[in-house]
Every structure is written in structure tokens, then in C-alpha cells.
Structure 1
Amino acid sequence: MKPWTLSPASMPPAELPLLLHILRTPQQAASLSPAAWDTLLRQAESSLLSATLHYWLEQHGQLAHALPQAREQLAWAAVQARRHAQAAYWEIRLIGKELGGLGLPLLLLKGGAYAAAGLPPAAGRLFADIDVLVPEDSLPEVEAALMLHGWSGAKLDPYDQRYYREWMHELPPMTHVRRQTSIDVHHTILPRTAAQRPDPRLLRAAARPLAEPPGAAILAPADMVLHSATHLFADGEFDKGLRDLWDLHRLLTHFGAHEPGFWEALPARARQLELQRFMFYGLRYSVALFGTPVPPATRAAMAAAGPNPLLLAVMDGLFTRALMPRHPSCRRALAKLADFLLYVRGNWLRMPPLRLARHLFHKAFLTPKNPQQSGA
């Protein structure tokens, strides 16, 4: 198998969902039948990409050609996304003020970073919480400052508290008691127990400040791309997988066009942060599903980070099923098995085998069944 070509058995062109065809070639939307529009809207909604589809068609001058009913539905999704973006920006400003006395930059991750910096993935994107990255030795101060301003941690049992504080890469999730917004405070981007150990000091040192909101910062371009790929391909749940892969595609396309030296720096930065395998998968499936214009030299530099041909064929079969929209028209044979195997893989990547076995035993048999008591 060629290292950057998915085999026909892994991704038959006829089985590419309509949503992917339109995201790759939005001009095709002008010729869709009413039944095809219905399918497209359902696939987009199941992938959390309805508002994104609105902005994408509008950007390419295709929204006017949409079926009137479809255009109305997409417009409502765009209104919701705009209100969400306004609320998220306001929340980021409030969090910045609440943590302002600590002398730390408000280093934003994922959706909050895209929104605050006005990056392409922000168009139409919805996200549930604000993610921030702080030094590990500042966690007690950050948590205390947030609690002083009305943030409360999830009511977890002692085991789950230990799970987050000793083994994971973040504090237990916190919710503001009045605003009912959520924040995830990270001290690194992978669990302490994971095999890969990206140095968060390198991420913080290369971060770039934003002019607005005051005190906010985002990861450097290569680091943001690496985090996007790692967040997707180190995880075990892919219900938002296509949305997250679209984020990665948009970041790669944007930085590749506007950030001098981006493509040359990406492979070296991936090696430095021990994230080569996740970036290999990110480039591979972004190219395969969205046609991301990755230069041949970058592909060649990342090819060695991939698995052996046999394992790669297996992973192609799993990822090309799990990354599809969660709609019946897109669920290929063995999709549920792929979801399960990738869930097991995600947990395997988080912890050593013995600790993982103990963790899964505890979650299955010893954790209280009340959902309020289980957060890990």
C-alpha cells in the first residue's frame, strides 16, 4: 500500500457521504435534488456541521442556489452559531478577568482559541466548554481563583477525583454556578499516564498573545495543529470526529497558506513533542477525506511515523468508518465494531495495561450508578 493512498477497499468513492462531497466541492450543491438536500442536512446535523455548511456554501457563492427550505434551516443554524460565538467571547473575557490577578496568560485551546483568534474553524463551530492551559504548579491557584468567582467542580466520588488529579491532564470539569458555563483547566494535552509526554513548557513558550480579549493567548500554528490531531486521534470517542477533522483541515489549509515555513516546521515539531503518530493520522485522513493540500515533502517527512502496512490497513478500515457522519446513510458495515475497537484503543493509549484494567474494573463495578457521581 502506498503510504498516502487509501486502498479502494478502505474508502470506496461511491461510499463517501454527500456531506463530504459538498465540503470538498461546494459547487455541487447547485445541482442537488430536494431528496439530496434532505440527506445533506441530516448528515450535517448529525456531524454538528449545520452552521459550518451554511458559512461554507455562503463563502463559495452557493447558498443562493440552495433549496429554499434548506436555506432557511441553515440560516437558523447560523443564527445559533453567531449567538454561541458571542456568548463564548464574553465568557472568555470574564474568565480572563477572574484569573487576571495570577499573572498568567489565558492560554486558550480548541474551540475557544479558534473563536477568540477568528480562525477559519470558528465559522459555525459550536463547543461545550472553554479549555485553557496553565502551568501544572499553578493549578491550586487557578482552581482557587475560579472557585472564588463562582466556579464549582463536578461532584465526583473520591476515585474520580484521584483519576483527574493524579492521572489525567486536567482538573475535574468546573461549572459556573450562575452562568452555567463550563471550563476545563489543562496542565498538558495528554494524560500523565500516556506513553507520549509532550512538554507543556514548549507549548506555553511558543504561544502567541492576542490583541483581544486582553491577556488571552493561543498556541503557535504548528502546536495548534498538533493539538488538534492529538485531540482527535488519541481519543476513543468519535461522535464529533468529522467535525474535528474538518477543524484540522481548515487549520492546515489556513496556516499552510499564511504562515511562512509552516509545512517545513511541522514534522520537526511533531517529533519534538512526541506526537508524530497522531499527526501522521491527521494528515492522512485530512488528505483522504477533504483533499487537504499537504506538500509532498511534508508527507514524505511524516511517512516514517506511520504504522507498518498491515496495521495501517486495519486503521484505515477503523478510522474511515468512525470518522463518517453519525447518520444511517453513512454508517458502513462494521461501523459499530470500529467504534468499539477505537474506544478500547483510546483507553489503551491513556494508561498502562495494569492500571487500565484496574480503572475499567472500578468504573464497571465500583462506581456509583448515579450519573451525578460519575465524571471520568
Structure 2
Amino acid sequence: MSTSLLARVLLQPSLSATLSLADWDLLVRQARRANLIARLHDVLAAAGINAPAPAQSHLTAARRIADAQRQRMRWELGRIAEALHAATPHCVVLKGGAYLALDLPLARSRLYGDLDILVPRSALAEVESALLIHGWIVEALSAYDEQYYRRWMHELPPMRHRSRGTALDVHHTLLPLTSRTALDTPALFETLQPLPGWPGLSALAPPDLLLHSATHLFHEGEFANGLRDLFDLDALVRHHGRDAGYWERTVERAGRLGLRRPLHYALRHSERALGTPVPPEVQRELARA
């Protein structure tokens, strides 16, 4: 499979020793475009590789930005827990926010643009009201777009805090209601893991973290973060894949939720592009989807 310069260096950082300044320029631009520039910094640092000074300044800045964003997102999680504690007993932090709250290794190199949460659809009115009271407002949309979000989408219209500028997406399921995939949304709330640092907030269980990452990547129409999401998938598998029963639970959950097809695509392409260690029997089982 043809891979970008960025992917090759992230997988084999020693290749950077052969790069010209023009190559470094391309590498930094690819990393910034893919939202992987902090990860590039960390991969090179772990390998003991010093980038040329012009590139290193960008990498160091990205590392500092990532640290600041992680600190800010931790604080924002506390504000969301405070706002929603009486609105719903089930508030699930998704994607990057979940990786951060669970202190997963991939969270350190992630750049954060917004927070995503999942709540039961029956609690949407209470959740939206509580967020409005605590300073989050719905961003201005046309009447058509507003109605489309509320009738057909898997989330409320985007919200932003009126003083802090924090972006928040409130989901009631993982896929638009118009999707051809029949997602069993209530089953998402069956195996949550509480987040002790943020009372009232939870994250998806490890198999469901992988399933959500796969679903997000292979059901969306925008691939600006496609490579980053593949690296997220790879990191989740490498972190949890050796746990006893992980693969059996993941395949079972994929069937329970109706997400075997996106999981098959995700593991197939992650293995091909990044060498993600996936048991052959898992691939064969999912290929039947």
C-alpha cells in the first residue's frame, strides 16, 4: 500500500535520518494537516532523533499546544460533569475526550478541537436545557439546518460556550438516523466504565471504544483526520489487544451493536497501512460481514 512520508516516518522514525530540508518541510506540513504533529514530535523524541532546527521549532510548539489542550480539556470535563449531574445518569464521553479521561497512551499526542458526549435520546431536552443554563449556546444555523439536525442527525446542533469558546457536540447515538446501518443504540449504555475523576461521566468499554472509532472513520464523509483516526485504531488495538478475552468481546459487541462491517473495514485497512496486530481468526470472522 502506498503510504505518505508522514506515515512512513511515524512507523519507522529512523527514516528521518535520510531526509533533506525539503523533505522535513513536507513532513511537518503533512503532520500539521493530519493533526499528527504532536505525535510526530513524540515518536522522534522517543527514538532519540533531533529534527533540524527549523522543523524542531514547529514540533516543540505542537508539544506545548498539546499539553495545554489536555489541561484545558480535563478542566472542561469537570464543567460538563457539573452541568449535567442532575440532567441524566448516563453521560458518556466519546473519542479524544474519553482517551484523555482514561489516560490512554494515545491521548498524550492528540490535539483537541472539541468535546463529544453521548446521552440517551430521552434525556436530550434536559441535557440541552442544563447546558444552556451553564453557558453553552447553540451555534447560529439556518432554520433548515436546525430542523435537519434535530430530526435526522445523531446529535444536537453544535454548541459553544459563550465565554470560553469551548465546542461541544451532544450525541444521542453514533450514526445519523438516515444511516443504512441499524445501530442498536440502547446497547451502547450496557457496558460503560465510570470515570472516577469526573463523577457522573462514563466512557465506553474497551471493545466499544474501538467500535466507535471504526464507525466514525468508515461512516463519515470527511477524511481530514483519516490518517490520525487510523493511528488511533492502531493504538487502541495495541493497548487492549493483549487483554484476555478482548477480541472475543469485541467481535461479540460488534454483532450486538450491528457494527461488524465497519469493524472489518477498520481492522483490514489499519493492518494493511500500519501493521496493526489483528489475529487472523478475527479477520476471517469479520470478513463474513
Instruction: Please confirm whether the aligned pair reaches a TM-score higher than 0.5, indicating the same fold.
Output: yes
**2:48 matches 1:62:** yes
Correspondence list, 1:296-375, <5 A: 296-305=280-289
- Conservation of the 8 A alpha-carbon contact between 2:88 and 2:127: no
The corresponding residue for 1:190 is 175
- Conservation of the 8 A alpha-carbon contact between 1:168 and 1:193: yes
**SS at the partner of 1:185?**
strand
2-structure distance, mates of 1:66, 1:178: 38
**SS at the partner of 2:241?**
helix
- Number of corresponding residues: 289
2-structure distance, mates of 1:295, 1:186: 32
The Cα of 1:17 is off from its aligned counterpart by: 1.5
Structure of higher CA gyration radius? 1
- Conservation of the 8 A alpha-carbon contact between 1:190 and 1:197: no
The Cα of 1:188 is off from its aligned counterpart by: 0.6
Q: 2:91 aligns with which of 106, 109, 112?
A: 106
The corresponding residue for 1:264 is 248
Identity %: 46
Judged with a 3 Å threshold, the aligned counterparts in structure 2 of structure 1 residues 157 and 262 are, in CA distance, closer, same or farther, namely same
Instruction: Point out the more displaced range, 245-254 or 115-124.
Output: 115-124
1-structure distance, mates of 2:142, 2:33: 33
Deviation string 1:322-363 (CA, Å, 9 cap, x unpaired) is xxxxxxxxxxxxxxxxxxxxxxxxxxxxxxxxxxxxxxxxxx
**AA matched with 2:105:** P
Correspondence list, 1:113-262, <5 A: 113-257=98-242, 259-262=243-246
- Conservation of the 8 A alpha-carbon contact between 2:88 and 2:119: no
2-structure distance, mates of 1:37, 1:293: 29
- Conservation of the 8 A alpha-carbon contact between 1:170 and 1:186: yes
Gaps (5+ residues) in structure 1?
Answer: 1-10, 306-376
Deviation string 1:170-190 (CA, Å, 9 cap, x unpaired) is 111111111111111111101
2-structure distance, mates of 1:293, 1:29: 24
**SS at the partner of 2:276?**
coil
2-structure distance, mates of 1:156, 1:67: 45
2-structure distance, mates of 1:197, 1:229: 15
The corresponding residue for 2:274 is 290
The corresponding residue for 1:17 is 4
Deviation string 1:122-156 (CA, Å, 9 cap, x unpaired) is 12212321110111100000001011111111222
- Conservation of the 8 A alpha-carbon contact between 2:90 and 2:120: no
**AA matched with 1:277:** R
The corresponding residue for 1:356 is none
2-structure distance, mates of 1:234, 1:103: 28
**SS at the partner of 1:183?**
strand
**2:36 matches 1:49:** yes
The Cα of 1:240 is off from its aligned counterpart by: 1.3
CA RMSD of aligned residues (A): 1.5
**SS at the partner of 1:102?**
coil
Deviation string 1:299-344 (CA, Å, 9 cap, x unpaired) is 1111112xxxxxxxxxxxxxxxxxxxxxxxxxxxxxxxxxxxxxxx
- Conservation of the 8 A alpha-carbon contact between 1:96 and 1:214: yes
The corresponding residue for 1:338 is none
**AA matched with 2:10:** L
- Conservation of the 8 A alpha-carbon contact between 1:222 and 1:269: yes
Deviation string 1:279-317 (CA, Å, 9 cap, x unpaired) is 111011101111101111111111112xxxxxxxxxxxx
**AA matched with 1:294:** V
The Cα of 1:103 is off from its aligned counterpart by: 4.5
**TM-score after normalising by structure 1:** 0.74
**AA matched with 1:58:** A
**TM-score after normalising by structure 2:** 0.95
- Conservation of the 8 A alpha-carbon contact between 2:183 and 2:259: yes
